[in-house]
C-alpha cells in the first residue's frame, strides 16, 4: 500500500523559522509501516508547504496519515479536506490532540479514522484491514459507521519498547533544515528512551497519552540506535525526548557508562528538560562524561503553594541545588517557567521571575499557561466559561493566547511574559557571558536565531489575546 505521512504547517507556532525538530512520532510510524512492506513517503509541510498537492498527485497514496498537536489541528483539517477533494485516499489522524479529542475530526466528514494513543501497532493493523479486513476489529481506533462515532477498543501501550524498529530517518530529506536553539551543530537527531510519566501536572497531558507507568528501553537498545545514527546518518548531536529520562538512577549510570565505552564522541541534550529532584552530582557528572553539554529543568513557578497545587510536586530547594551543581560542572543550563497558574497573583509571578534571576540559567523561557485539552487546567477553564469557541490555532506556546484563571488579567499575564524576557536577556553581562560560552559558528547562529524569534514574538504589541 502507498502511504503518505504528513506533518502540518506550523507557521502559527514558529513563524518563518520552522520547527526545531523532525516529527519523531511519524518517523516511528514510517519505520513500522516499511517493516510491514508498505511504500511510505513523508512530507513535512512546515518546511515544504508548496509541495503537498504535487506529492498527492504524483505519489497517489491509498492512505494519508496526518499528525497534529493542538495548534496545528486546524491546518491538519484543511489538509484532510484537500486530500478528500483531490484523491480517493483514506485519511487517518493521529497525535496528542486527537488522542484526547478523537471524535472532533470525524465530525467534519473529512477524516476516516483516528488513531488513539500510541500508533505503531494500530497503523500497521489498520493498513492491513483496509486492504482486506475489517477496521472495526482493529483496537485503538475511533471511527464512524452508520452515522455513529465509536471507539473500536482500547489499545494497550507497547510494553516492550525494544520490540519496535528504530525511527526511519531516511524519510527526512534534509536534517539540517531543523534547528533546535540549544544545538551545537546542524545534524541533530532525537531519541525517546522511555514512555510514561507518573506525575499529574495540571498543565500537562503526558500521563494521559503514555500512561503513568514508565516503560523504558534497554541500555543496549538505545545505544544501538545511537550507533546507527552516528554511522548511518552522520549524527553530530542527539536530543532525548523523554519526559522522565533520569527517573531510574541505575539505568542512567549504566547508560552513561555504555556511551563512554562506545566512544561515540557526540553531543547529547534533553529537549524536554529533566526533573531537578531526579539528578544529583553523581548523575550530572556521569551525563557530562557521556557527552551532555546542556541540561534544562522545568521549574514552572517560584511559589511553593502554586508548585504544590500544580501537581508538579517539586522542591524549590532541589531546583536551586540542581542549577548549582550544573553550573559548577560547566554545563549549559535552561530554565522553563510558567506564568498564569490558577489563582496566581502578580506578586507570585514576580517571585517566579526573581527565582529565574537567582538561578540565572544560560537560557530561560517564560510561557503563559496554555490550557491544552485533556489537562486539568483545561477542564477548570472550560467549567469557568473562559474558553468559548475553541480557536485551536491560537493554542501555541508562542501564540499569545492567554485565557487565565489567575488573579491577573489576560493582558497582564501576556505583558509580564514580555517583560520577563526583556529583563532577563537585555543585560549586558548576560549577553557577553553567553558569547564567551559559544563554541561554534552554528551555535552562535542558532542562539541569534532564537533571540530574533523571541524578540519578534514578545517585543512588540499585539502579542496578547484578551479573552
Of residues 453 and 278, the one with the higher pLDDT is 278
Residue 177 to residue 154: CA distance in whole angstroms: 37
Chain region(s) in the chain for CATH 3.80.30.20: 179-458
Instruction: Say if residue 459's pLDDT is above 60.
Output: no
CA dist., res. 102 & res. 98, Å (int):
5
pLDDT band for position 13 (50/70/90)? confident
Angle at 163 between CA 244 and CA 20, to 5 degrees: 45
Q: Is the pLDDT of residue 398 over 80?
A: no
Predicted confidence band of residue 467 (pLDDT cuts 50, 70, 90): very low
The pLDDT value given to residue 10: 86
Taking the C-alpha atoms of residue 299 and residue 355, their distance in angstroms, rounded to an integer, is: 9
Q: Answer yes or no: are the C-beta atoms of 282 and 250 closer than 8 Å.
A: no
Q: What is the pLDDT of residue 390?
A: 82
- Predicted confidence at residue 130, as pLDDT, reads 95
Kindly state the average pLDDT of the residues 124-143.
96
Other C-beta atoms within 10 Å of 347: how many?
9
* Terminal CA-CA length for the chain: 46
What was the pLDDT predicted at 447?
Answer: 62
CA distance 79 to 49: 11
pLDDT in the model for residue 257: 97
H/E run at residue 424: helix 410-425
d(CA 72, CA 51): 18
Q: Which one is the CATH code of 2-151: 3.40.630.190, 3.40.50.970, 3.40.50.280, 3.30.310.10? A: 3.40.50.280
pLDDT of residue 420: 95
| pLDDT above 80: residue 431 | no
Output the CA–CA distances (angstroms, integers) from residue 240 to 323, 342, 443, in the order listed: 19, 31, 18
pLDDT in the model for residue 461:
42
The pLDDT tens digits of the residues spanning 100-110 come to: 999 999 999 99
Q: Which three cell numbers stand for residue 223?
A: 545505544
Residue 254: the pLDDT is 98
With contact defined as beta carbons under 8 Å apart, do 268 and 284 qualify? no
- CB burial readout 158-189, b (16+ within 10 A) else e: beebeebebbbbebbeebeebbbbbbbebbbb
Q: Which three cell numbers stand for residue 359?
A: 538561578
**pLDDT tens digits along 347-374:** 999 999 999 999 999 999 999 999 999 9
Q: How far apart are CA 96 and CA 49, in angstroms?
A: 22
Q: What share of the chain in percent tops pLDDT 70?
A: 90
CA distance 461 to 438: 31
| Residue 191: pLDDT over 50 | yes
pLDDT value of residue 109: 94
Taking residues 252-278, report their average pLDDT. Answer: 94
Mean pLDDT for the stretch of residues 230-252: 96
CATH 3.40.50.280 in the chain is located at: 2-151
The segment with the largest mean pLDDT, out of 30-34, 184-188, 408-412, 445-449, is 30-34
Residue pair 190/240 in contact (Cβ under 8 Å)? The answer is yes
Mean pLDDT within 300-325: 96
**407 vs 29: CA distance, rounded Å:** 43
Higher pLDDT, 451 or 9: 9
State the CB neighbour count (10 A cutoff) for residue 202.
19
State yes or no: pLDDT of 186 exceeds 90. Answer: no
Give residue 126's pLDDT.
98
Q: Which residue has the higher pLDDT, 455 or 353?
A: 353
Residues 6+ apart with CB under 8 A from 9: 45, 46, 49, 72, 75
| Interval 202-218 mean pLDDT | 96
Architecture in CATH of 179-458: Alpha-Beta Horseshoe (3.80)
pLDDT band at 96 (very low <50, low <70, confident <90, very high): very high
Specify whether the CB–CB gap between 333 and 323 falls below 8 A: yes
Q: Are strands 2-7 and 148-151 parallel, antiparallel or unpaired?
A: unpaired
pTM of the model: 0.91
Q: What is the Cα–Cα distance from 401 to 383, expressed in whole angstroms? A: 18
What whole-number distance in Å separates Cα of residue 98 and Cα of residue 440? Answer: 40
Supply the mean pLDDT for the chain: 91
Q: Report pLDDT for 46.
A: 93
- DSSP secondary structure of 320-380: HHHHHHHHHTT-EEEEEEEE--TT--HHHHHHHHHHHHHH--SEEEEEE----TTSHHHHH
pLDDT(302) > 50: yes
**Residues 422-449: what's their mean pLDDT?**
70
Q: pLDDT band at 457, cuts 50/70/90?
A: low
The predicted structure's pLDDT at residue 442: 66
Whether the CB-CB separation of 228 and 168 falls below 8 Å is answered with no
Amino acid at each position: 500500500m502507498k502511504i503518505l505521512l504528513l506533518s502540518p504547517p506550523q507557521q502559527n507556532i514558529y513563524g518563518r523559522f520552522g520547527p526545531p525538530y523532525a516529527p519523531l512520532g511519524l518517523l516511528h510510524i514510517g519505520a513500522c509501516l516499511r517493516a510491514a512492506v508498505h511504500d511510505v513517503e513523508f512530507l513535512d509541510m512546515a518546511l515544504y508547504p508548496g509541495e503537498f498537492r504535487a506529492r498527492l498527485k504524483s505519489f497517489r497514496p491509498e492512505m494519508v496519515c496526518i499528525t497534529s498537536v493542538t495548534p496545528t489541528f486546524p491546518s491538519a483539517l484543511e489538509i484532510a479536506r484537500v486530500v478528500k477533494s483531490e484523491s480517493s485516499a483514506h485519511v487517518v489522524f493521529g497525535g496528542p490532540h486527537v488522542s484526547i479529542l478523537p471524535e472532533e475530526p470525524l465530525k467534519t466528514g473529512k477524516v476516516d479514522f483516528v488513531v488513539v494513543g500510541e500508533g505503531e501497532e494500530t497503523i500497521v493493523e489498520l493498513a492491513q484491514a483496509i486492504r482486506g479486513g475489517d477496521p472495526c476489529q482493529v483496537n485503538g481506533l475511533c471511527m464512524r459507521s452508520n452515522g455513529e462515532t465509536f471507539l473500536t477498543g482500547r489499545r494497550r501501550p507497547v510494553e516492550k519498547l525494544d520490540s519496535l524498529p528504530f525511527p526511519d530517518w531516511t524519510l527526512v530529506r534534509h536534517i539540517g533544515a531543523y534547528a533546535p536553539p540549544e544545538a551545537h551543530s546542524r545534524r541533530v537527531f532525537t531519541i525517546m528512551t522511555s514512555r510514561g510519566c507518573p506525575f499529574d501536572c495540571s498543565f500537562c497531558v503526558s500521563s494521559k497519552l503514555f500512561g503513568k507507568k514508565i516503560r523504558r528501553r534497554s541500555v543496549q537498545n538505545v545505544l544501538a540506535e545511537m550507533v546507527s545514527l552516528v554511522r548511518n546518518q552522520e549524527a553530530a548531536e542527539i536530543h532525548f525526548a523523554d519526559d522522565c529520562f533520569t527517573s531510574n538512577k541505575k539505568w542512567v549510570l549504566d547508560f552513561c557508562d555504555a556511551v563512554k565505552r562506545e566512544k561515540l564522541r557526540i553531543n547529547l541534550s534533553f529537549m524536554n528538560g529533566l526533573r531537578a529532584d531526579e539528578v544529583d552530582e553523581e548523575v550530572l557528572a556521569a551525563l557530562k562524561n557521556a557527552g551532555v553539554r546542556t541540561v534544562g529543568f522545568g521549574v514552572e513557578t517560584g511559589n511553593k503553594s502554586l508548585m504544590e497545587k500544580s501537581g508538579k510536586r517539586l522542591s524549590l530547594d532541589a531546583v536551586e541545588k540542581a542549577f548549582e551543581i550544573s553550573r559548577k560542572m560547566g554545563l549549559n543550563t535552561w530554565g522553563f517557567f510558567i506564568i498564569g497558574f490558577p489563582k496566581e497573583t502578580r506578586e507570585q509571578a514576580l517571585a517566579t521571575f526573581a527565582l529565574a534571576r537567582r538561578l540565572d540559567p544560560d537560557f530561560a523561557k517564560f510561557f503563559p499557561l496554555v490550557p491544552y485539552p485533556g489537562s486539568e487546567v483545561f477542564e477548570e477553564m472550560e467549567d469557568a466559561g473562559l474558553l468559548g469557541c475553541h480557536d485551536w490555532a491560537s493554542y501555541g506556546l508562542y501564540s499569545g493566547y492567554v485565557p487565565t484563571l489567575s488573579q491577573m488579567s489576560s493582558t497582564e499575564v501576556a505583558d509580564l511574559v514580555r517583560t520577563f524576557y526583556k529583563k532577563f536577556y537585555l543585560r549586558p553581562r548576560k549577553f557577553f557571558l553567553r558569547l564567551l560560552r559559544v563554541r561554534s559558528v552554528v551555535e552562535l547562529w542558532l542562539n541569534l536565531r532564537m533571540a530574533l524569534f523571541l524578540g519578534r514574538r514578545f517585543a512588540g504589541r499585539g502579542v496578547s489575546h484578551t479573552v
